[in-house]
Structure 1
């Protein structure tokens, strides 16, 4: 399989630190994600490397929860987490520009995630992986546009 990663960017009229603070507050994810409707931190956790949170995802046909570990937390530069600790990496980078910040959202299916899907779905794994890949490719531009709207209307 190929193309198991994707990234897109948008320029937002806001500072890198402020945008980082928005995105790293995963309890706000439901404000901009088309699929992840709510997130909450484990007790005592926040946006530090090694901290965990749960996300609730909703599609018309199903609702499910995932647990994710923060793997990058560099204020104003990068925030990233890995679903299940090893399955799929989602990340945000922040690049200060003259009049705003370029926010880049990235997604990557990791080897452990591919192995999990092969075990869980068997012969249907390629289609399941394709479905998740399409959702990420379709969702990232929607998410970035919503982050831009939220930041610029604050």
Structure 2
């Protein structure tokens, strides 16, 4: 029996980086608030914390997601709105925030998203990363009826989609944070001048 590309580990391992004109603490305060995901994510429309203290290790977030018909349009993906749950697995203010996707049976999956932050010239370097070790139940369902050629095509196209999503997310986060920092500085300056 031959091995499928879907049995590769890691199946996906990607990251993207950007410099944000803000402190690591300011960056962390935004990226650890998953309820704001709709402000930057190509798919996540936000959601809510359903257990635990929000943004702390062990807390569970229920995300609402939206995927268009054009995303890897030929593959049998979930389209429209669907929901996911994820558990925070790392929460170090100013440094790292990561969450692991949970299966429908509420079990850990080797599917982890996250942000790492470090001081950099011009503010902070923000790294957004995604790693899927073993394929999730969802990936297995997508490729179940595909031949190996189409499985390989799917993994290639999904990797390109993930790379694009990471880049787009970082650009949007940078805009959100830098706009917020400028607005805060203007408000504080106005308060001091009127003070």
What number of residue pairs does the alignment pair up? 153
Whole-angstrom distance in 2 between the partners of 1:130 and 1:69: 27
1:100 to 94, 108, 123: 123
Computing the radius of gyration from Cα coordinates, the structure with the larger value is 2
* Aligned alpha-carbon RMSD (Å): 2.1
* Superposed counterparts of 1:112-131, under 5 Å: 113=136, 117-118=139-140, 121-124=143-146, 126=151, 128-131=154-157
The structural deviation recorded for 1:88 is: 1.4
Is 1:46 matched with 2:64?
no
Does residue 13 of structure 2 align to residue 5 of structure 1? yes
Q: Which runs of 5+ in 1 are unaligned?
A: none
Per the alignment, in what secondary structure is the counterpart of residue 144 of structure 2? Answer: helix
132, 137, 158: which one pairs with 1:109? 132
Compute the displacement of 1:44 (Å). Answer: 4.3
1:136 lines up with 2:162 in the alignment: yes
Change (3 A) 1:88 1:119: same
Cα deviation, 1:59-111, whole Å, max 9, x if unaligned, reads 12322111001011000000000111314110100011243000000011121
- Is 1:74 aligned to residue 92 of structure 2? yes
SS in 1 for 2:166: helix
In the TM superposition, residue 136 of structure 1 has moved relative to its aligned partner by: 1.4
User: Contact (CA 8 Å) 1:20, 1:94: kept in 2 or not?
Assistant: yes
CA distance in 2, matches of 1:91, 1:10: 14
Structure 1 residue 35: Cα displacement: 0.9
User: What is the TM-score normalised by the length of structure 2?
Assistant: 0.71
* TM-score normalised by the chain length of structure 1: 0.88
The structure with the greater share of residues assigned to strand is: 1
Q: CA deviation at 1:129?
A: 4.4
4+ residue runs of structure 1 moved beyond 4 angstroms?
A: 127-131
Partner of 2:193: none
- Once the two structures are overlaid, the 10-residue window that deviates more, 101-110 or 34-43, is 34-43
Q: Which runs of 5+ in 2 are unaligned?
A: 70-78, 103-107, 181-195
Native 8 Å contact 1:117 1:129 kept in 2: no
